[in-house]
């Protein structure tokens, strides 16, 4: 079975081969299982191969400058877009760079991004943030 591929543009940094990506939205529920809150969240977790580009850590350190980005998921055996996750006014809230002498990916970067606005095709969520 063929595997999916993904690319990412986070701020000014481009990654042509995303190793891992997940994102989540949430809604609180009450004791009876009924939804009790608006939808919130939109935390994006991304793992990419490290490079000499320091743009991600620079974005983390520049905490008051939001970033925009796009993660494009591609169809198996094609270079065609299957779907796209876009975010605006995002902030890197976790940055971890790992090195391992052994293994498939010897040097990787793990980042967590939260964003004020996320778009998933026709679905959009806007988190009501106060000025950060």
CA separation for the pair 132, 43 (Å, rounded): 16
Per residue in 47-61, pLDDT tens?
A: 999 989 999 999 999
Q: In this predicted structure, what is the pLDDT of residue 42? A: 86
Asked whether residue 122 carries a pLDDT value surpassing 80, the answer given is yes
Tokens of 67: 């970033």
Sequence-distant (6+) residues with CB within 8 A of 88 are 66, 68, 115, 116, 117
Q: In this predicted structure, what is the pLDDT of residue 2? A: 58
**Nearest in space to 12 (alpha carbons), one of 89, 67, 61:** 67
- Superfamily grouping for domain 5-126: Hcp1-like (2.30.110.20)
Q: In this predicted structure, what is the pLDDT of residue 68? A: 97
- Cα-Cα end-to-end distance for the chain: 44
Tokens of 3: 């595997």
Q: In this predicted structure, what is the pLDDT of residue 47? A: 96
Tokens of 60: 């983390």
Per residue in 12-68, pLDDT tens?
A: 999 998 999 999 999 999 999 999 998 888 899 999 999 899 999 999 999 889 999
Asked whether residue 81 carries a pLDDT value surpassing 70, the answer given is yes
Q: In this predicted structure, what is the pLDDT of residue 105? A: 76
């Amino acid at each position: 079975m063929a595997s999916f591929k993904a690319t990412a543009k986070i701020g000014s940094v481009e990654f042509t081969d995303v190793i891992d990506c997940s994102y989540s939205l949430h809604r609180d529920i009450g004791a009876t299982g009924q939804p009790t809150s608006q939808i919130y969240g939109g935390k994006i977790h991304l793992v990419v191969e490290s490079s000499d580009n320091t743009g991600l850590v620079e974005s983390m350190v520049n905490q008051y400058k939001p970033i925009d980005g796009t993660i494009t998921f591609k169809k198996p055996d094609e270079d065609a877009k299957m779907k796209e996750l876009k975010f605006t006014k995002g902030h890197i809230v976790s940055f971890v760079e790992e090195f391992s002498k052994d293994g498939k990916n010897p040097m990787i970067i793990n980042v967590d991004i939260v964003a004020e606005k996320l778009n998933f095709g026709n679905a959009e969520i806007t988190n009501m943030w106060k000025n950060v």
